[in-house]
């Protein structure tokens, strides 16, 4: 993996070593403090650029154009909230998606299937073990955001989101979030309203560089990707890991996300 990853700076291939343990400790501290951590340049910039360029033609001819209007909860309504409550205002999300079965030969898929990657992520997240997904479409996705496309405000279904930026746009495409805005005990609808009206004092914006691995605690931290400007697309890989083996999406979920079932 040394041909595609900077394993001198990030010793994922040396689990249990002092350097590996120090990296895990640093990542856990950042997760606790900021709700996220990043490994800048884990994948070499040349490899990331090559991966994005290799998929450009597939995005033109084989990708699924995912477009939908939604609120921050991805639900038609929330019990206890009036339909016109500001926390339920709707936005548009738009991107192009390639699935794992379209990524043969990509370093993105190679990284996902490398066992020390899952071992490191589990340790950094405080999990006993993580497993790759069995779903042939959902296990790894690569998403492209072109001019005026964006991933709009939402909460994640899973506790953590694991991504790697492959190509940055000329302008826009920042990762914008508010850490731990809600909790299991408090949905904090007033805080969601402040977020959506641009008055949340805790809102943060992060600009990632190609090759950067980013781990984000998204279940209780709403987030979005800013609208892309210019002709250069924002291209990002999304890795799916679970704390149990054999996870599959239903055919309905596959069709909803990808326009087809496996």
Number of Cβ within 10 Å of residue 153's Cβ equals 23
pLDDT of residue 64: 97
pLDDT of residue 190: 95
pLDDT of residue 109: 98
Q: Three-state SS for 94?
A: strand
Spatial separation of the C-alpha atoms in residues 111 and 249, rounded to whole Å: 22
pLDDT of residue 158: 87
How many residues make up the chain in this entry?
A: 262
Six-digit token pair at 246?
Answer: 């054999």
Q: With beta carbons less than 8 A apart as the criterion, state whether 134 and 245 touch.
A: yes
pLDDT band at 259 (very low <50, low <70, confident <90, very high): very high
Q: With beta carbons less than 8 A apart as the criterion, state whether 139 and 98 touch.
A: no
Is the confidence at residue 43, as pLDDT, over 90? yes
Global pTM value: 0.93
Q: Where are the alpha helices (DSSP H) in 62-199?
A: 107-112, 115-125, 189-196
Q: With beta carbons less than 8 A apart as the criterion, state whether 112 and 239 touch.
A: yes
pLDDT of residue 152: 94
Spatial separation of the C-alpha atoms in residues 178 and 195, rounded to whole Å: 8
Tell me the pLDDT tens digit for each residue of 11-33: 999 999 999 999 999 999 999 99
Tell me the pLDDT tens digit for each residue of 232-252: 999 999 999 999 999 999 999
Q: With beta carbons less than 8 A apart as the criterion, state whether 20 and 12 touch.
A: yes
Is the confidence at residue 112, as pLDDT, over 90? yes
Is the confidence at residue 157, as pLDDT, over 90? no
Q: Three-state SS for 127?
A: coil
Out of 2.60.120.620, 1.10.3720.10, 2.20.25.10, 2.40.110.10, which CATH number does the structure's domain 18-258 have? Answer: 2.60.120.620
pLDDT of residue 154: 94
């Amino acid at each position: 993996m040394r041909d595609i990853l900077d394993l001198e700076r990030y010793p994922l291939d040396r689990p249990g070593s002092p350097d590996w343990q120090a990296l895990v400790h640093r990542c856990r501290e950042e997760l606790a403090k900021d709700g996220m951590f990043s490994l800048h340049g884990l994948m070499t910039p040349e490899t990331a650029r090559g991966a994005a360029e290799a998929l450009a033609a597939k995005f033109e001819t084989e990708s699924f154009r995912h477009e939908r209007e939604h609120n921050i909860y991805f639900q038609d309504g929330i019990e206890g909230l009036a339909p016109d409550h500001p926390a339920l205002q709707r936005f548009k999300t738009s991107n192009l998606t390639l699935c794992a079965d379209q990524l043969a030969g990509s370093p993105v898929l190679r990284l996902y299937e490398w066992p020390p990657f899952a071992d490191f992520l589990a340790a950094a997240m405080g999990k006993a073990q993580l497993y790759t997904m069995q779903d042939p479409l959902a296990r790894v996705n690569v998403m492209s955001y072109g001019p005026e496309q964006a991933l709009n405000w939402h909460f994640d279904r899973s506790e953590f989101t694991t991504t790697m930026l492959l190509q940055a746009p000329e302008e826009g495409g920042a990762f914008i979030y508010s850490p731990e805005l809600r909790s299991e005990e408090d949905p904090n609808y007033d805080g969601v309203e402040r977020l959506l009206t641009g008055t949340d004092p805790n809102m943060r914006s992060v600009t990632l560089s190609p090759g950067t691995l980013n781990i984000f605690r998204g279940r209780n931290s709403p987030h979005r990707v800013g609208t892309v400007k210019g002709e250069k697309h924002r291209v990002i890989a999304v890795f799916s890991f679970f704390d149990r083996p054999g996870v599959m999406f239903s055919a309905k979920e596959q069709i909803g996300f990808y326009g087809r079932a496996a």
